[in-house]
Amino acid sequence: MDYALVLIIQALSSIAMLILISIGLAIMFGMMKVINFAHGEFLMIGAYTSVMSVNAGVNFWVATFIVAPLSVAVVGLVVERLIIRYLYGRLIETMLATWGLSLLLMGAVTVIFGNTVTGISAPLGSVHIGAYSTSIYELVLIFFAAALTVGSAVFLKMTDIGLVARAAMQNPDITAVLGFDPNRIYCVTFVIGAAITGLAGALIAPLTGVSPGMGLAFVAKAFITVICAGPAVIVGSALVATTFGVVNTIVTFVATPVFGEVALLLSAIVLLRVMPNGLTSRFKRGAL
């Protein structure tokens, strides 16, 4: 019984990790069809700024929720104004330019901060579940992943800004005719996506550690999750992450971590074969 509960928590934790690393990219991709291959580096910068703030004495929660997202938002703004702005609509070009950006950011961080940044420990300690113990922070991550998903969906559906963003996503020309500047909307959306990614990076930092190359471990999975999600990016990403997380956890428990990873990748292929336009391609038009 305890073991079953632990297993469920483990699966939820895997799902939460996938959601956290994907949701910023989902917003960027869903809104503007921008595949940001520097996504892993945005996560990395968020993690770095959070860790370095904490090492400098800032409170962990302030560093995670304020410093990290703000820093990455600034980076996102610079990147958008200098590079992405000229490449909207050109899917392959944005992918390649952001690939270059990813190399550039990794190199820059290595040169500036070197490779020896001490990480931070997960706060909040652990809790016992029968004979097992699990980190409370892991549970907190599950909560935040859910909160971010719901929050993004609510923001887009219920607020005015969200409405305008969705309109620009569906039809930029009409939106422009109605008086809203699509370029500004894209810029704001990119920056918000970057900020959320920075937050995600800061949230996972206590568990994964920081290094200039840490983003590489996440970018492929985030990319695959977002593409498989289909047009309704938020709901799609959450559903896809759930599928992947469950498959990964079960196979890892039954076999080895290697097979768990392979199973996750195989399920992506099966998913795309069955639903070539993503998981949510059959959803009602205009859904999130």
Closest-CA residue to 230 (of 158, 182, 186, 285): 285
| Contacts to another protein from residues 189-228, by CB under 8 A | 206-211, 213-214, 216-220, 223-224, 227-228
**Can you tell me which of 36, 64, 149, 252 binds another protein, judged by CB under 8 A?**
252
Task: Give the Cα separation of 235 and 156 in Å (integer).
Answer: 12
In terms of CB distance, is 162 or 261 closer to another protein?
261
| Contacts to another protein from residues 33-52, by CB under 8 A | 33, 35
In terms of CB distance, is 67 or 222 closer to another protein?
222
Cβ neighbours around 184 below 10 Å, total: 11
Q: Does 13 bind another protein (CB under 8 A)?
A: yes
| Contacts to another protein from residues 264-283, by CB under 8 A | 265-266, 268-269, 272-273, 276-278
Q: Does 249 bind another protein (CB under 8 A)?
A: yes
Count of residues engaged in binding another protein, rule: CB under 8 A = 86
In terms of CB distance, is 155 or 283 closer to another protein?
283
In terms of CB distance, is 153 or 268 closer to another protein?
268
Structure tokens that stand for 94 in this block: 């944005």
Q: How far apart, in Å, do the first and last CA atoms of the chain sit?
A: 37
Q: Does 99 bind another protein (CB under 8 A)?
A: yes
| Contacts to another protein from residues 156-195, by CB under 8 A | none
CB of 245 to another protein, least distance (A): 10
Task: Give the Cα separation of 245 and 257 in Å (integer).
Answer: 13
In terms of CB distance, is 118 or 159 closer to another protein?
118
Q: Does 239 bind another protein (CB under 8 A)?
A: no
Q: Does 64 bind another protein (CB under 8 A)?
A: no
In terms of CB distance, is 193 or 206 closer to another protein?
206
CB of 8 to another protein, least distance (A): 11
Q: Does 57 bind another protein (CB under 8 A)?
A: no
In terms of CB distance, is 70 or 122 closer to another protein?
122
CB of 130 to another protein, least distance (A): 10
